[in-house]
A and B are shown apart, each in its own frame.
Chain A
Amino acid sequence: MRIVHIGHETDFSGWRDHARALLGAGIRPEDVVWRVCTEEADLFDVMTRDTGTAPKAKITVPRAFLTDAQMAVCHRDPARFDLLYRLLWRSQDMPGLLANSVDEDVHTLHKLTKAIRRDRHKMHAFVRFREVKGEAEETFVAWFEPEHRITELAAPFFMRRFSNMRWSILTPDCCAHWDRETLTYSEGTTAAQAPDGDELEDLWRGYFRSIFNPARLKVKAMTSEMPKKYWKNLPEADLIEPLIASARALETQMVSAAPTPVKREASYEFSDPCATPADALDTLRREAAGCTLCDHACHATQTVFGEGPADTPLMIVGEQPGDTEDITGRPFTGPAGAVFDEALAGAGLSRDALYLTNAVKHFRFIPKGKTRLHRTPGTAHIDHCRRWLKAERSWIKPRLTLAMGATAIRALHGKTLSVTGAREGFSCFDGGLAFAGLHPAAVLRQTVPEERERAYHTLVSDLARVRQRLEAKENTPA
């Protein structure tokens, strides 16, 4: 049986040196007794460190174990050094041991580190600084009693947060001090060394009282996160009992109090008469913004209305706005819009010279996590939304219309036609002439590069054909 003495309660490096030597010497965990020196004198009875016997084999330890061990030594569990050495010993023959959280030792280690992490987190949260009066520089001191010996683990956080402030945190085991340059530690002390109050505490207690909602009393939820053991050093804690005691009465009073009458009702103002087609389109845009004919309108951000000059000969109709369009409020601004812009340029057309709109003006989608999946509009939506398309067309009166995709064809024609069939032309509900073409999103849907290339060329040629027809029409006298 070997008795090994560790320098002090949280002496991680002492444990590590001993453990390395013991492991090197092949000493089994059950043959080692770990003790912490409590007196200087103890040092003399201590069997000299086994550092002299060089390790026989190379000792490999996962880095995560060292981090965990560093934490675990701060725990008040007297068996912690023993546990760590046993784990180290066992992990030499079982490389995956430390990842096996159902192993009893690993499970215990996890329990220790979890308790330390939690205690450290609570220390970050519940330390309350008090200003020391009469100092030349602003100085703050806090008294805190952590459950474990974690002052050195927790102090660097305060150094980072309050690097331009002089402060000390006093605890029974160890005190930390920051003078705006170096972090130093000293022996533990007593509460008497810390200031007994701070002017701001009245304000803080006032805040604590006011932010509490007496109608939602959940005492257990509070105590599980702020256990009573921490209360004694929290200036706000003595308010808790009275707040709980008066909560029910306050709630009943609020529930049964006579309600205040409603002062006034709201009113909406809408729409104004218009003179020019451009004004009319503006008015329409405003009216359409409030459209709720389809159920999916209330899920979308906004109505994406058409845009372009009112006196253009060409109208291009797409399907419906997508995720990006719903956010920007403008048609064809997403990925399909980028393809569309490129194809327009390829066909020698300019976006500024045409009127661009969609058959359905609200984005229809299914939410999926942080994204939205496009859903094709149904015939009911197309039918509902036709009123806006009709209104747009009645002011623009385009000479030619390009319907991109089946939805646009259905919206303009009233019945379903295939894109291929309608490429050669069809008539719209208002008698206008329209041609069908590929929708830019169809290009994006192709996964094979060659297919995508082919689709893109089809789109460009659909657009180019419209341009040629437009030019030919311009040249023929009406």
Chain B
Amino acid sequence: MASITRLEKLEILADAAKYDASCSSSGSTRRDSRGGKGMGSSEGMGICHAYTPDGRCISLLKVLMTNVCMFDCRFCVNRSSSNVRRARFTPEELATLTTDFYKRNYIEGLFLSSGIIRSPDYTMEQLVGTARILRHRLDFRGYIHLKTIPDADPELIAEAGRLADRVSINVELPTREGLAKFAPEKDDKRIKSTMAVTRARIAQWKDERKKFKSTPRFAPAGQSTQMIVGADGSKDVQILRSSADLYGSYQLKRVYYSAFSPIPDASKDLPPIRPPLMREHRIYQADWLWRFYGFGLDDLSHSMENGMLPLDIDPKLAWALNRRAAFPVDVNKAPKEILLRVPGLGIGSVGKILSARRHTRLRLEHVGRLCRNIKKIRPFIEAADWRPTALTDRADLRDLLAPPAKQLSLAL
């Protein structure tokens, strides 16, 4: 075989990694390169260095070490039965590439994953080896996100946690049945056990850090996971329950949802569909409502139809339309948790309302200054100069607030 250039390898292995949605580089320990010999910093806030036309950001150099894989997960472009071109980076090559990119300010760091080759331990050792070169030899202080391989030696996972800012392992599908069907070599119990080990290690680090400042850090940006939406028959309600379990059980920082996207050389078991991007978006919104807005799973499932969130309006508006009796709420009096339930009011706007109303009796125009779209909020609030009266209860309120239906483009 003809020799393969660095560019070709990068193209193959980045292409193989793009189905992983996570690219976050935030929430780690603060540090910089002063007093060291290498480069890199992390200042809490993540930075997106570029955006591709799919609207996703490039924060980290997201590549696979290799796209050769023993497993045959149906939804995955790298499965053993796929005919894609294969390549492999050595840990040395990856470390050099990372610092070359970093020096030019292209990236915040490295997100390294891999197909499973030889054995879980061997694969994990290669990932950890790359991080070792970066951290120990090159004194790289940027962000590192490592995938952990299920069933790898706990000692390797522990080392990964000490070197990386974040570790993750993908649950892939929301239900165990889906996983058994589409990823027969993966086992949800083993994935969850690996997460459990990581949660216990993080907790141990946080605990020991209180006593000894020198305790080596362990994945300070926490762990995350990803679920594919739309590959199996799971309903939104199942997806949200699964992620609620994951947040609660393993204290995950994030569950990423990735609309199942057609891949080159797809398996015949999978639906040849366009990715359900709107569905993915609604699930993210529901996830936010659950994590930051005090919504329960019951609240969310109540506005679902047949286990699915409405696609034309956001889940908070759907909830509010089903709960007209709870509205309007008075922006000058209502407590924070009630304001958070008003469609169109986000955490930021609610914070500003709470602090501004100590100084002024808020009028509708004031609320308009603090939020993005007052028209959407108006039916649900009362202000000093505003009562929605019959508007809140109008039967066609949904149509008034939903974005106009678009003619579908027929040319595919």
Contacts and interface: CB of A to CB of B under 8 A. Distances in A.
Nearest to B272: A255
Interface in A272-290: 289-290
Contact of B356 (A102, A219, A260): A102
Contact of A260 (B83, B101, B106, B291): B83
A125 B48 contact: yes
A218 B53 contact: yes
A203 B248 contact: no
Interface string A150-166: 00000001101111110
Interface in A127-171: 127-131, 138, 140, 142, 157-158, 160-165
What range describes how many residues of B lie at the interface? 35 or more
B41 A161 contact: yes
A262 B7 CA distance: 31
A411 B58 CA distance: 55
Interface string A194-219: 00001010111011111111111111
B267 A260 contact: yes
Contacts of A243: 52-53
B266 A260 contact: yes
Contacts of B118: none
Interface string B63-88: 00000000010100000111100000
B412 A252 contact: yes
Nearest to A296: B245
Interface stretch (B31-39, B160-168, B312-320, B388-396): B31-39
Nearest to B81: A263
Contacts of A41: none
B33 A198 contact: no
A261 interface: yes
Interface string A229-263: 00000101000100110010001101111011111
Nearest to B11: A210
B47 interface: yes
Contacts of A165: 39, 103
B33 A160 contact: yes
A290 B187 CA distance: 10
What range describes how many residues of A lie at the interface? 35 or more
Nearest to B356: A102
B242 to A, nearest CB: 8
A56 interface: no
Given A215-B262, A215-B274, A369-B248, A164 B48 contact: no
Contact of A96 (B72, B359, B412): B359
Contacts of A130: 104
B168 to A, nearest CB: 16
Interface string A353-367: 000000000000101
Contacts of B41: 157, 160-161
B39 A161 contact: yes
B26 interface: no
Interface string A451-475: 0000000000000000000000000
Contact of B196 (A96, A127, A302): A302
A101 B355 CA distance: 8
Contacts of B272: 255-256, 259
B14 interface: yes
Contacts of B270: 259
Contacts of A218: 53-55, 277
Given A161-B39, A216-B277, A222-B55, A262 B74 contact: yes
B14 A210 contact: yes
A38 interface: no
Contact of A164 (B38, B176, B251, B291): B38
Nearest to A365: B248
Contact of B53 (A126, A203, A240): A240
Given A129-B105, A208-B50, A262 B268 contact: yes
Nearest to B101: A204
Contact of A301 (B106, B192, B259): B192
A262 B55 CA distance: 32
A213 B18 contact: yes
A265 interface: yes
Given A125-B47, A164-B38, A203-B7, A260 B82 contact: yes
Contacts of B34: 160, 163
B104 A200 contact: yes
Between B12, B17, B40, the greatest number of chain A beta carbons within 10 A of the residue's beta carbon is seen for B40
A210 B355 contact: no
Contacts of A392: none
Nearest to B294: A369
Contacts of A302: 189, 192-193, 196
Contacts of B370: 101-102
Contacts of B235: none
Given A226-B51, A262-B267, A371-B248, A161 B33 contact: yes
Contacts of B106: 128, 204
A225 interface: yes
22 contacts: A121-B47, A125-B47, A126-B50, A129-B104, A162-B33, A164-B37, A165-B39, A204-B106, A211-B17, A212-B18, A213-B52, A216-B55, A221-B54, A244-B53, A251-B262, A255-B274, A261-B81, A262-B269, A266-B185, A298-B188, A367-B249, A370-B248
Interface of A: 96-97, 99-103, 107, 121, 124-131, 138, 140, 142, 157-158, 160-165, 198, 200, 202-204, 206-222, 225-226, 234, 236, 240, 243-244, 247, 251-252, 254-257, 259-266, 289-290, 292, 298-302, 323, 326-329, 365, 367-372
